Amino acid sequence: MPRVIVFDKFGGPEVMHVAEEPAAGPADGEVRVRIEAFAVNPLDLMMRSGTSPAPVPLPHARLGVEGTGVIDALGPGVTGLEIGDPVILTAIPDASARGSYAEYTSIPASRVIARPAGLDVTEAAAIWVAYSTAYGALVEKAGMRPGDYVLITAASGGVGRAAMQVASQVGAVPIAVTRHTAKKDDLTAAGAAAVIATDHEDITEAIRRHTGGTGADIVFDLVTGPGQQDLLKAARPGATLVAAGFLDPRPAPFPATPLTIYRYMGFEHTLDPVVVRRMAAFLNAGVHLGALRPAIDKVFTLDDVAEAHRHLEKGLNTRGKVVVTV
Ligand SMILES: NC(=O)c1ccc[n+]([C@@H]2O[C@H](COP(=O)([O-])OP(=O)(O)OC[C@H]3O[C@@H](n4cnc5c(N)ncnc54)[C@H](OP(=O)(O)O)[C@@H]3O)[C@@H](O)[C@H]2O)c1
């Protein structure tokens, strides 16, 4: 019987368990995907612990907002896809019902794209949320252009690393922020044009030095919290700040500087087929040219999914995405 990860109450990683149940669907307009691997995202930890912004109905909640696999069955009315096609899942807004932590899931056919050639299964599992978020926030939302100085917080993480590569692909200048001097060399190797370590540097002073005194054109903030105050000072007048992550749950200050500020949620773009087509084209081109390559920190198996959550929760994912193979 196919296996699926479920949880019946909110709590630590131990609340997740394996259930065996028939693979559902696909209904009209849906495809059923045999999942080969999925990445673990901070949102999964929030859903499991009961702290996600959207309510999670219990019991028997599923998890997983991204993954890759092959099409296993086509629902009535589906055209343009074949059984056996390797695909990436692009949006699972109802992850608590159809999540990718499973051997099978059925989703609307419009929410899969062809798996880019040249990626192995773990890389394909790790690419979508990180790179679509970075592309959507920086290119679609902030209008990033060649030469822009782009300040990226939490640059060591999955989305931050993707943002550095996306900025470089466009010809912009990615400036990474980390809390730890010890991570500077790794971030330089990962593509940062400059790295600011906040344990010994002042962001405002450092960004002026790295931008010839002008300040950042775009700030991509994956942390938010009180530290956003320093990012606002590091941006040039008229710059754009996109807040896409909330790793620091404390309130952010009200900005007193003349910036354009967006709060970014990926579903704004990943549920729009026109934007998804642009995202897929950008990713395919980047992978083909060698400009985009997801960094994998560690790979777990479905039996070790609780360990995968602990790894991310303890911040041990210092080199990229956490992936689970099914
Ligand atoms: N808006 C969207 O659609 C969307 C999509 C995907 C993810 N997100 C959000 O984006 C954020 C980043 O996701 P991710 O997958 O890249 O996470 P991740 O891989 O777990 O990133 C972890 C990195 O963030 C930094 N960090 C962690 N806690 C921090 C804190 N309190 N203050 C400052 N830095 C901190 C650390 O870097 P250093 O140790 O080097 O400082 C750490 O290595 C999350 O909040 C996630 O929920 C949003």
Is the per-residue pLDDT at 256 higher than 80?
no
Instruction: Give the strand pairing for 112-114 and 67-74.
Output: unpaired
Type and span of the H or E element at 167:
helix 158-170
Q: Residue 257's pLDDT band (boundaries 50, 70, 90)?
A: confident
User: Residues near 311 by Cβ (< 8 Å), separated by ≥ 6?
Assistant: 297, 298, 300, 317, 322
CA distances from 267 to 32, 43, 184, 314 (A): 21, 13, 32, 27
d(CA 173, CA 151): 9
d(CA 50, CA 45): 8
**Measured from the CA of 247, which atom of ligand 1 is nearest?**
45
Q: Residue 25's pLDDT band (boundaries 50, 70, 90)?
A: confident
45, 242, 247, best to mutate for ligand 1 pocket (most atoms within 8 Å of CB)? 247
User: Residues near 97 by Cβ (< 8 Å), separated by ≥ 6?
Assistant: 62
Q: Would you say 246 and 267 are in contact if contact means Cβ atoms under 8 Å apart? A: no
Closest C-alpha among 65, 42, 45 to residue 270:
65
Which residue, judged by its Cα, is nearest atom 17 of ligand 1?
157
> Phi and psi dihedrals of 88, rounded to 5?
-115, 140
127, 159, 196, 221, best to mutate for ligand 1 pocket (most atoms within 8 Å of CB)? 159
> Phi and psi dihedrals of 43, rounded to 5?
-60, -35
45, 51, 222, 263, best to mutate for ligand 1 pocket (most atoms within 8 Å of CB)? 222
Which residue, judged by its Cα, is nearest atom 37 of ligand 1?
154
User: Residues near 134 by Cβ (< 8 Å), separated by ≥ 6?
Assistant: 159, 162, 163, 165, 166, 220
- Give the mean model confidence (pLDDT) for residues 118-143: 98
User: Residues near 118 by Cβ (< 8 Å), separated by ≥ 6?
Assistant: 287, 288
Is the per-residue pLDDT at 24 higher than 90?
no
Instruction: Quote the DSSP letter at residue 197.
Output: E
Tell me how long the chain is: 326
Closest C-alpha among 110, 76, 116 to residue 93:
110
Q: Is 179 in the pocket of ligand 1 (CB under 6 A)?
A: yes
The token pair at 28 is 């009209």
Q: Residue 258's pLDDT band (boundaries 50, 70, 90)?
A: confident
Q: pTM of this prediction?
A: 0.97
Question: What does the pLDDT read at residue 132?
Answer: 98
Distance 158 CA to ligand 1 centre (A): 7
d(CA 131, CA 283): 8
Q: Is 266 in the pocket of ligand 1 (CB under 6 A)?
A: yes
Q: Is 43 in the pocket of ligand 1 (CB under 6 A)?
A: yes
Distance 177 CA to ligand 1 centre (A): 11
- CB hemisphere CA count around 278 (13 angstroms): 11
